[in-house]
Structure 1
Amino acid sequence: MAADTTRDRVLGLIASAGPITAATLAAELGVTPAGVRRHLTALAESGFITEHEPPGTHVRGRGRPAKSYVATTDGQNSLTTAYSAVAVDAVSFMRSQGNLDEFVETKLAQLEAGLRASMPEGATMSERVEALSRALADQGYATSVRPGPGGYTVQLCQGHCPVQSIAESAPEWCEAETRAFSRVLDVHVQRLSTLAGGAHVCTTTIPVSPVTVKEG
């Protein structure tokens, strides 16, 4: 049972923080490197994780960066979800009845209200994004926040989505969710990728400071 629990924690961290190396997993979870490698092997054999290949051409050999891992679709689906296939059938039914948009907007309004309540008073944008990430985690999302290039943006990453099966059937959900994030933070955000669209993580870029343009 303990092994299964640790394996779930390994998979959960890969889903929320991947691409992530074995060394980082061991440090974050307080597990020995050998123990992490055993879990990584088992998860890979189950098809729940895969080695992440960064874009571009890379030379293998000495000096090669350490392997990093991401969760596969099967791995994401194996994580606990609050929605069943019945919910997907309900989405199809509502679409056929012409009231899917109303359902999506109603559910996202409820999510938005909860997220808005978590926003700290007088906080910086970076602090607001961190609060948003924690609030989403409380809702069952596996979230992390990463710095963007240049320090002007951050990326809100969701490695697991409790409504992924619904979002796959109704892309309107992801679109409404993005609008909700924008309203909660009171800033334009850009959704770069989604789990429902086949990516290993949902990624939303959020500006945290204005870009200063030098004159002359």
Structure 2
Amino acid sequence: MKNAAALSGQRPAAAAVAGASASAADVSTRERVTQLLLARGATTAVQLGDALGLSPAAIRRHLDAMLVDGDVVAREQAVRAHRGRGRPAKVFLLTDAARVRCGTHHYDNMATAALRWIARTGGAEAVEAFAAEQVAALERRCRAALEDAGEDPLARAEALAGALTAEGYAANASTIASGGQLCQHHCPVAHVAAEFPQLCEAETSVISRLVGTHVQRLATIAHGDGVCTTHIPGQPGRVPSGKTVSTVRTDR
């Protein structure tokens, strides 16, 4: 009886340890899901499960918990080509709150207040000058990383993606039918840029100068998109130094 009682007394403790281990494993998995969504932007449950080696039931359990916690939102996947019957797959994106916990948007309130003061006292031109100055150092660092990339804009875009990733932008470049595409899955100033798009304009101009061709910004995190997407034409023309390149949204 004594042994039975001892064993009985140990069970709650053992269960607690097992529960703590399971909880720690869940937290670790959800951190990995968060990092994947940060790097990839909008992603389906199947894609997340494949990347993490999880069954459909397991990944959906984690996503359901993250939905309840307010870490992700679900949207219907945009399908441009003709598709078969059935509802489109859902994609999952990080919420602003989750991005903040990833280390983004520090000092947003102070930065926004400062830009509002600049706009009141100096006008739109002063805001543009401030934005250009802010990205100047980034441009210098990225230009140094592109020294051996050659002249081809798409090759330069690939090298630029690597440089931007090193700066914390989680970027990647890919070739598409109409040229190339540079995607940034992380924007440290997204909340501020939502009110002051001059920051996006200045960054787009930097990308244009660095790849050596006119580019077109198709989507931005600051405007609610999952990824900042920049299109690079397949047959580019050189852009004169200092030329301003506007952000054009085609997702409306």
Could you tell me the TM-score, scaled by structure 2's length? 0.70
Q: Residue 76 of structure 2: which of 52, 58, 63 is its match? A: 52
Residues 204 and 88 of structure 1, relative CA distance in 2, 3 Å threshold: same
**In the aligned structure 2, how far is the partner of 1:60 from the partner of 1:51?**
18
**In the aligned structure 1, how far is the partner of 2:174 from the partner of 2:98?**
22
**In the aligned structure 1, how far is the partner of 2:93 from the partner of 2:183?**
13
Moved more, 129-138 or 185-194: 129-138
Residues 36 and 59 of structure 1, relative CA distance in 2, 3 Å threshold: same
Structure 2 gaps, min length 5: 1-23, 237-252
**In the aligned structure 2, how far is the partner of 1:51 from the partner of 1:191?**
22
Structure (1/2) with the larger helix percentage: 2
Residues 127 and 118 of structure 1, relative CA distance in 2, 3 Å threshold: same
**In the aligned structure 2, how far is the partner of 1:109 from the partner of 1:93?**
21
The equivalent residue for 1:139 is: 167
Residues 126 and 140 of structure 1, relative CA distance in 2, 3 Å threshold: same
Conserved in 1, the CA contact under 8 Å of 2:118 and 2:127?
yes
Conserved in 1, the CA contact under 8 Å of 2:165 and 2:171?
yes
The equivalent residue for 2:229 is: 203
Conserved in 2, the CA contact under 8 Å of 1:15 and 1:201?
no
Whichever residue aligns with residue 91 of structure 2, its letter is: S
Residues 96 and 25 of structure 1, relative CA distance in 2, 3 Å threshold: same
| Offset from partner CA, 1:91-119 (integer Å, 9 cap, x none) | 21222221322221111111111111111
**In the aligned structure 1, how far is the partner of 2:28 from the partner of 2:235?**
40
Moved more, 188-197 or 134-143: 134-143
RMSD: 2.7
The question of 1:104 aligning with 2:131 is answered yes
Residues 120 and 9 of structure 1, relative CA distance in 2, 3 Å threshold: farther
1:187-202 to structure 2, matched below 5 A, reads 187-202=213-228
1:11-160 to structure 2, matched below 5 A, reads 11-47=34-70, 48-55=72-79, 61=86, 66-81=89-104, 83-84=106-107, 85-98=109-122, 99-123=126-150, 124-148=152-176, 150=177, 152-160=178-186
Greater relative contact order structure (CA < 8 Å, 6+ sep): 1
Conserved in 1, the CA contact under 8 Å of 2:67 and 2:73?
yes
| Offset from partner CA, 1:7-54 (integer Å, 9 cap, x none) | 233123223323322232233344554442222112222332213332
Partner SS, residue 140 of structure 1: coil
Could you tell me the TM-score, scaled by structure 1's length? 0.80
Partner SS, residue 160 of structure 1: coil
**In the aligned structure 1, how far is the partner of 2:145 from the partner of 2:53?**
30
Conserved in 2, the CA contact under 8 Å of 1:50 and 1:72?
no
The equivalent residue for 1:10 is: 33
The equivalent residue for 1:213 is: none
**In the aligned structure 2, how far is the partner of 1:37 from the partner of 1:4?**
14
Moved more, 152-161 or 183-192: 152-161
| Offset from partner CA, 1:59-111 (integer Å, 9 cap, x none) | 654xx665432334444444311521222222212222213222211111111
Conserved in 1, the CA contact under 8 Å of 2:157 and 2:211?
yes
